[in-house]
Structure 1
Amino acid sequence: MLKQLVEQCQRDNAFAQKRLFDQYINRLFRVSLRYVRHEPEAEEVLMNAFLKAFRSISSFSYRDENGLEAWLRRIVVNEALQHLRANRQLPPFLSDDEIDDQPDSVALPDAGLDVERIYALIRELPTGYRTVFNLYVIEGYTHREIAEQLHISENTSKSQLSKARAVLQTWLIQNGYETETRRNA
């Protein structure tokens, strides 16, 4: 079914494009929002990504649903990075001194952390930390690929990831959530 939908999109069928859009809009909006904090900007990134996808779908070779989603996700991520660059939000990356300007505490629910809360915490990270964290941890890019995408060194990528993890861990500890390692120590 999805393969036929892609084939129809490749023939510029507007109805098929709308169906594909509807099928992936929610998942891909969350991807966009992980990189671009404000919803209107994330929506703009997503719309631009879908336009690019529909323009280049003729060169897409359908293998399975996972391949299609991965292809669409990569377009969204690339569009989000392009948006951050165009708005001068990326780079430069934060230095150790600038982290003091970030929130000391993030209010967490009394119950255990859920996926939505972790997602919200990641969105609170400074842009550089958040971008590298998302690319490495969530999207599965290597530090070399991140360095190439962001025009930074691999060591900067590693440093940004380390700092992002440290900030997240600090926020969790400050709000009463300790890692298993700390509890068992």
Structure 2
Amino acid sequence: MTTDDKLKQIWAGCLNNERKQEELFYKTLAPRMMAVCMRYAHDRDEAQDILQEGFIKAFKNRQYYRGEGSLEGWVRRIMVHAAISRYRKTKPVVLCDEMSTETFSGTYNYDGLETQDLMRIIRQLPDTYRSVFNMYAIEGYSHQEIGSALGMSELLSRTTLCRARTILKNKLTRLNKAEVYRMAM
């Protein structure tokens, strides 16, 4: 039995409003969904809030999962939308033009870069840049979907992604140069 099959079995209990099954479903998916929420949040507390909002939405809209596709994927999409909703309520879409003027140069050697280090660097992006980068590069949304979700044009989504990538490249280049300097000491 696959993990998704087990989740669907637990989900059947959730559909019948069985609180123990809801708790089991939450405990099973919460660690993986927390990782999704952390990509959109500034810190762990904000990610926890997004996680809670996402699970509330999932349980409130449980009748809309039709059993097609991955149940975990359905919940993941709800988490992303919960993060976007939270972002749209609290932040207007503003581009940081001063950050987009950074130039890119240098060579890259990212061997040994840990996933948590990369995620920390991504979390340093301005909110709009981070949201667009996560939705496109990690979640696989199209620019049209991103624009629609964040209330921006498709072109602005593309431009924002380009700027986010430039910022990330610059940060990684500086990180790489600092590592080379430390090794030389």
Structure 1 length as normaliser, TM-score?
0.83
What displacement does 1:45 show? 1.3
Question: Is the aligned partner of 1:27 residue 2:28?
Answer: no
Amino-acid identity (%): 33
The question of whether the paired residues in 1 share the 8 Å contact of 2:133 and 2:164 is answered with yes
2:61 to 56, 59, 69: 56
Distance in 1 between residues matched to 2:111 and 2:99, nearest whole Å = 31
The question of whether the paired residues in 2 share the 8 Å contact of 1:6 and 1:62 is answered with no
Distance in 1 between residues matched to 2:7 and 2:34, nearest whole Å = 20
Q: 3-state SS of the aligned residue for 1:112?
A: coil
2:93 to 81, 91, 94: 91
Q: One-letter code of the match for 1:26?
A: P
Question: Is the aligned partner of 1:72 residue 2:71?
Answer: no
Aligned match of 2:142: 142
Structure 2 length as normaliser, TM-score?
0.83
Which 5+ residue runs of structure 1 have no aligned equivalent? 103-109, 178-185
What displacement does 1:24 show? 0.7
Aligned match of 1:168: 168
The question of whether the paired residues in 2 share the 8 Å contact of 1:121 and 1:168 is answered with yes
Aligned match of 2:15: 10
Q: Which moved more, 1:13-22 or 1:110-119?
A: 110-119
Q: How big is each residue's C-alpha offset from its partner over 1:41-85, in whole Å with a ceiling of 9 and x where there is no partner?
A: 211111111011011112212246xx1111111111111111111
The question of whether the paired residues in 1 share the 8 Å contact of 2:39 and 2:123 is answered with yes
What displacement does 1:99 show? 5.4
Q: For this pair of structures, how many residues does the alignment match?
A: 165
Q: One-letter code of the match for 1:16?
A: Q
Question: Is the aligned partner of 1:39 residue 2:54?
Answer: no
Q: Which moved more, 1:25-34 or 1:128-137?
A: 25-34
After the TM superposition, list the runs of 4 or more consecutive aligned residues in structure 1 that deviate by more than 3 angstroms.
none
With over 3 angstroms needed to count, the CA separation of the structure-2 counterparts of 1:2 and 1:176, relative to structure 1, is closer
